[in-house]
Structure 1
Amino acid sequence: MNKLSLNYELKNRYRIIKHVSESNFSNIYLVLYKNRKYIVKECFPLNIVIRDEENKVFTEKYKRKFEMIKNDFMKEAEIIRKFNEESIVQFKDYFKENNTEYMLLEYCEGSSLKQYILENELAEEEILEIFVKIVKAVRKIHEKNVIHRDLKPSNIIVDINNNIKIIDFGSSINISEKNKGYLKWTSGYSPLEMYSLKAENDQKTDIYSLCALLYFMLNKYRPMDSLKRFYYPELIYEDYVSRKIRKIIEKGMNMERKERYENIEELEKELTN
């Protein structure tokens, strides 16, 4: 029993109406409160915890690791709380229950960028228009000294007006922080430094992921994983991708961090010139 049941009320007010998704670290629920929809994210590292008949989440063997993950979960909420931007998911509430932790977030209408790109035929200009909005949103994140570290198509919502919203800050860190005590990466979108606890992560980490995102938006498939690109760094494109955009992607996705764009402003300038 990894998930809470439908109609379960968290905090005696947030009624679960749908199981949205689950990952190795959390469950996502759609809840109803005062006739409005919200998202609840539950800290649930499924490989180390179980849920008892009273819905309490516990572990005997991995107590220390569970506490560390709950601490990171709280840091995620603190990071989201920093933002008051239309293009970034809004924080609403944080609470402890069932021996774990929960955050209440804005419910974002629309579809994932992955779904949107795969279901629509878009010209390069239309794709760039959406991508520049994503870049501007990431600039807002960097202005708060935060690195997102998990920019990928499933973590971006596109609404019916082509406005975007960045969600899921589970891998984010403040720029002054070291890497988290465990590795989290996404094949195709994470640069090589995300595969090491010792490697430095900075704005250039997000720049790699952003340009990998642009690669997907244009080609409709993700780029080769950075571990494989270490041996085969060349990127393969569909014929219709323009030379200018290829150059931008290749600079942003350079395997050498020092060869990428220095910061998000430099990438944005290159795109809009």
Structure 2
Amino acid sequence: MQFIGNRYEILNYGNEIQVGKLYTARDTYYNRTVYLKLIKNVENLRIGFMPDLIDESTVLSQINSEHIGKLLHIDVHCTEYDVYYYIVSEYFKGESLKSFIYNNILDRNTIASLAMNIVKSLEIANVNHLYHGSLDPNNIFIDENKNIKIFDFGITKANKGVNLRFNKERSYLCPHQLNIDYTDKESDFFSMGIILFEMVFRELPFGYAYNDKEMLKQVDKGVRWSLLEYDKSLEDIVTIIRKLLSRDNKYKTTQEIVIDLSRIIYEDVQVEEENSEYYEEQEINIKNVNLKRKLLTSMLVLFLAIMIVLSFI
């Protein structure tokens, strides 16, 4: 049994608690399930991180979005050797998007719908002068009905825009985060492009690296699109990915991304409606044919009955 802050019991840990991982925990004060994340008080944390994160949590609590996880409690946990900050978030029953991607083959409509929910969350955040800054499939959760909720909003912004690189993860960072540790809303667009790429191809566009310099080199090489194979029905989604990862012809607002995704979703709905109308028409035709057959059969039976009666007269 592992308690944090003498209040939260972590429910799903192995031999040790990992910094930066989102754990399921039980709040013993209110007897409710929550998510909990530990952040070690190390040198890449900027001065004022704790009060700034509390300010960000206040902003998040005022945002009305079903897709953005609320921060419930922020405090300090001390051990014999280390000092940690811990962040408690609302619970959302589901699995990480990372797990969902690699355990399922995602079709065009599923990818577009998930992307739309992510973009709308970013749009609401931008309106409230927020960005995410550490968006990746490990802090996006999805339930059995494919509803999503994004966690870890506010952490990077509270750290003066410096991504904390939990578990040395750099694969979802944009070039200016890797180069000068600068984060803005465009950083989230780039991260989203990587997540969408992973949904389609089930791999990362730029792979992994052990330090920022090497990761930046791999990003600078770009994606070798000509070597990638994919279902042509996903061409529109791949076009969006290319624009999200582009340094020149790139999206400037969330509204632009929403328009392109809406076009895909609308086309899919239209095709479904046309297919539905076709099958309904076919079903009506089959019913009409069956009705005619029944009428002919009835008439034939009636005719035979009359002939039999006449033969006895």
Q: TM-score range by the shorter chain?
A: 0.7 to 0.9
How far apart are 1:35 and its partner, in Å? 2.8
Offset from partner CA, 1:178-214 (integer Å, 9 cap, x none): 643977774432221111226x532221111111111
- The aligned counterpart of 1:72 is 49
- The aligned counterpart of 1:249 is 241
Find out whether 1:220 has 2:211 as its counterpart. Answer: no
Percent sequence identity over matched residues?
21
Offset from partner CA, 1:234-271 (integer Å, 9 cap, x none): 335332153222221111101x2x53101111111121
Find out whether 1:81 has 2:65 as its counterpart. Answer: no
Q: Please tell me whether the aligned partners of residues 150 and 186 of structure 1 are also in contact (alpha carbons under 8 angstroms).
A: no
- The aligned counterpart of 1:41 is 37
TM-score for both structures, normalised by structure 2: 0.67
Bigger relative contact order, structure 1 or 2, given CA contacts below 8 A and separation 6+? 2
Q: Secondary structure at the match of 2:75?
A: strand
Q: Please tell me whether the aligned partners of residues 97 and 141 of structure 2 are also in contact (alpha carbons under 8 angstroms).
A: yes
- The aligned counterpart of 1:58 is none
Find out whether 1:205 has 2:197 as its counterpart. Answer: no
- The aligned counterpart of 1:52 is none
- The aligned counterpart of 1:93 is 73
Q: Please tell me whether the aligned partners of residues 141 and 149 of structure 2 are also in contact (alpha carbons under 8 angstroms).
A: yes
- The aligned counterpart of 2:133 is 149
Find out whether 1:162 has 2:142 as its counterpart. Answer: no
Q: Please tell me whether the aligned partners of residues 192 and 227 of structure 1 are also in contact (alpha carbons under 8 angstroms).
A: no
CA distance in 1, matches of 2:169, 2:84: 25
Offset from partner CA, 1:100-147 (integer Å, 9 cap, x none): 433321122100001111112221112211111111111112111112
Offset from partner CA, 1:20-70 (integer Å, 9 cap, x none): 88555678462233331112333325xx5xxxxxxxxxxxxxxxx38x457
CA RMSD after TM alignment: 3.1
How far apart are 1:223 and its partner, in Å? 1.0
| Residue number among 9, 16, 30 corresponding to 1:15 in the alignment | 9
CA distance in 2, matches of 1:23, 1:71: 23
Q: Secondary structure at the match of 2:138?
A: helix
Give the structure with higher Rg (CA): 2
Q: Which letter maps to 1:89?
A: G
Question: More strand per residue: 1 or 2?
Answer: 1
How far apart are 1:171 and its partner, in Å? 5.0
- The aligned counterpart of 2:303 is none
- The aligned counterpart of 1:131 is 115
The verdict on how the C-alpha distance between 1:170 and 1:234 changes in structure 2, with shifts beyond 3 A counting, is farther
State the aligned residue count: 243
Question: More helix per residue: 1 or 2?
Answer: 2
CA distance in 1, matches of 2:95, 2:145: 11
Q: Secondary structure at the match of 1:147?
A: coil
CA distance in 2, matches of 1:113, 1:80: 23
CA distance in 1, matches of 2:98, 2:137: 5
Q: Please tell me whether the aligned partners of residues 182 and 197 of structure 1 are also in contact (alpha carbons under 8 angstroms).
A: no
Give structure 1 stretches of 5+ with no counterpart. 1-5, 49-64
Find out whether 1:234 has 2:216 as its counterpart. Answer: no
CA distance in 2, matches of 1:237, 1:181: 30
